[in-house]
């Protein structure tokens, strides 16, 4: 077990607490393996009736994955990056298929890998502190950890909008879109966890009783614009629609897209298009693992991490630099299945 993860049982509840406050609880390989080990231990333990996932000290639930490691690995043989993805996606899938109820408390930053940790859980609690996003296209990556599954199932074209822009949602918006099941004030979370420990067979009742009415979901005011302007699965069409609209919001959105990797925006659109028709979450994870194994070794990811996380100049030099220059052939290569002996399996 790793110090970055606190795993304990409190009566009938198994608790998993992320414990990397200086990194906003970003996931590393040891943490993913620790979650898998805990879930496996509790799976056959009749004294554990429910699981709670949250974070220890600090302001983030989980800011994502260990991006620096992934980029360093991608710049060489990619072996370490693939090992991380393999364990992380097994964790995502295990949470998704787990028989016992799991509650995730998304209090604070919930991005990337944090989204992958929270969304498979049966109960997902947002608060006034929740900042939810899949910002991967800004570093030459794509919304993985099940993003192709979850985002493709949001109303209208909101999933495509979130995948391309990395737009941040607040807790109220998460609740309205179904990404969260409950909205609680952050100062009610300790009470919620204490009551869940007392009555783990009635988690819904506990959360319903403590829930407060959420503010209006601001994104709904833009839903018609999003559905209209992001209607196409072709990135060039979206650029053209935003440009033709010419309004202030459309121009700001177009400017945002121009800072993202054209290659991984195209990857994201295809991922959501295919994810909507996936027969199972395991099929989704198998595809995302193959895509991730390819993308992590491509120029845009290594350059994106350099620009945003290492040098912090926020001036990535994408290659190709425009949507038109990203060919269908390149996207087909990225989506090519891995040989069966290298492919992801649920375990």
pLDDT category of residue 68 using cuts at 50, 70 and 90: confident
Alpha carbon 344 to chain centroid, angstroms: 18
Q: How confident is the model at residue 2 (pLDDT cuts 50, 70, 90)?
A: confident
Nearest partner of 149 among 159, 134, 140, 137, judged by Cα: 159
Specify whether the CB–CB gap between 91 and 118 falls below 8 A: no
Distance CA 171, CA 8 (A): 27
Q: What is the percentage of the chain residues whose pLDDT exceeds 70?
A: 100
Tell me the C-alpha to C-alpha distance, in Å, between residue 34 and each of 7, 52, 180, 269.
8, 14, 25, 32
| pLDDT of res. 57 | 84
Q: What is the pTM of this model?
A: 0.97
Mean pLDDT (whole number) for 164-188: 98
Looking at residue 213, which CATH number applies to its domain?
A: 3.90.226.10
Q: Are 138 and 304 in contact (CB under 8 A)?
A: yes
DSSP string, 89-128: HHHHHHHHH-SS-EEEEE-SEEETHHHHHHTTSSEEEE-T
- Whole-number pLDDT of residue 59: 82
* In contact, 36 and 94? CB cutoff 8 Å: yes
- Tell me what pLDDT residue 312 has: 94
Tally of domains within the chain: 1
SS3 132: strand
Q: List, for residues 200-228, the tens digit of each pLDDT value.
A: 999 999 999 999 999 999 999 999 999 99
Say whether the peptide bond before residue 322 is cis (omega within 30 degrees of 0): no
Residue with structure tokens 């787990």? 98
What pLDDT does residue 1 have? Answer: 59
Residue in 35, 78, 76, 77 with CA at minimum distance from that of residue 55: 35
* Structure confidence at residue 231 (pLDDT): 98
Cα 342 → chain centroid? 23
Domain residue limits at 148? 1-347
Mean pLDDT of 42-67: 94
Classify the C-alpha dihedral 233-236-242-245 as positive or negative. Answer: negative
Position 98 scores a pLDDT of: 98
- What string of DSSP letters covers 3-51? TTEEEEEETTEEEEEE--GGGTT-B-HHHHHHHHHHHHHHHT-TT--EE
CA atoms within 13 A on the CB side of 156: 17
Q: Are 48 and 42 in contact (CB under 8 A)?
A: yes
The pairs formed by 321-325 with CB atoms below 8 angstroms and a separation of 24 or more are 321/262, 322/262, 323/235, 323/236, 323/239, 323/262, 323/265, 323/266, 324/236, 325/262
Q: Per-residue pLDDT tens for 293-333?
A: 999 999 999 999 999 989 999 999 999 999 999 999 999 99
Secondary structure element (H or E) that encloses residue 169, with its range: strand 169-170
Active-site residue numbers?
65, 113, 136, 144
Q: What percent of the chain has pLDDT over 90?
A: 95
Across 85-108, average pLDDT: 98
Residue pair 180/130 in contact by the 8 Å Cβ criterion: yes
Residue-wise pLDDT tens digits, 233-259: 999 999 999 999 999 999 999 999 999
Mean of the per-residue pLDDT values of the chain: 96
């Amino acid at each position: 077990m790793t110090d970055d993860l606190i795993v304990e049982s409190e009566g009938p509840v198994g608790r998993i607490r992320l414990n990397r406050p200086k990194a906003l609880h970003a996931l590393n390989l040891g943490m993913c393996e620790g979650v898998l080990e805990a879930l496996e231990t509790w799976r056959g333990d009749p004294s554990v009736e429910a699981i709670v996932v949250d974070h220890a000290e600090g302001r983030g639930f989980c800011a994502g994955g260990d991006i620096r490691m992934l980029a360093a690995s991608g710049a060489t043989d990619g072996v370490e990056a693939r090992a991380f993805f393999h364990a992380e996606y097994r964790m995502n899938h295990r949470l998704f298929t787990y028989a016992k109820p799991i509650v995730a408390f998304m209090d604070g930053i919930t991005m990337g890998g944090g989204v992958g940790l929270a969304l498979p859980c049966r109960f997902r609690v947002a608060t006034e502190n929740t900042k939810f996003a899949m910002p991967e296209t800004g570093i030459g990556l794509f919304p993985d950890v099940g993003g192709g599954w979850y985002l493709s199932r949001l109303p209208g074209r909101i999933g495509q909008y979130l995948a391309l822009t990395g737009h941040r949602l607040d807790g109220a918006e998460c609740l309205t879109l179904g990404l969260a099941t409950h909205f609680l004030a952050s100062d009610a979370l300790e009470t919620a966890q204490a009551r869940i420990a007392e009555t783990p067979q009635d988690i819904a009742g506990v959360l319903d009783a403590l829930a407060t009415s959420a503010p209006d979901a601001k994104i709904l005011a833009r839903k018609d614009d999003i559905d209209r302007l992001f209607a196409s699965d072709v990135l060039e069409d979206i650029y053209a629609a935003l440009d033709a609209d010419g309004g202030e919001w459309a121009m700001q959105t177009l400017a945002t897209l121009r800072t993202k990797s054209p290659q991984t925006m195209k990857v994201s659109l295809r991922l959501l298009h295919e994810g909507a028709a996936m027969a199972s979450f395991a099929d989704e994870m198998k595809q995302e693992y193959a895509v991730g194994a390819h993308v992590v070794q491509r120029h845009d990811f290594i350059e994106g991490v350099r620009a945003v996380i290492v040098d912090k100049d926020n001036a990535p030099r994408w290659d190709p630099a425009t949507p038109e220059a990203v060919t269908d052939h390149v996207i087909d290569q990225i989506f090519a299945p891995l040989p069966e002996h290298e492919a992801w399996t649920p375990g």
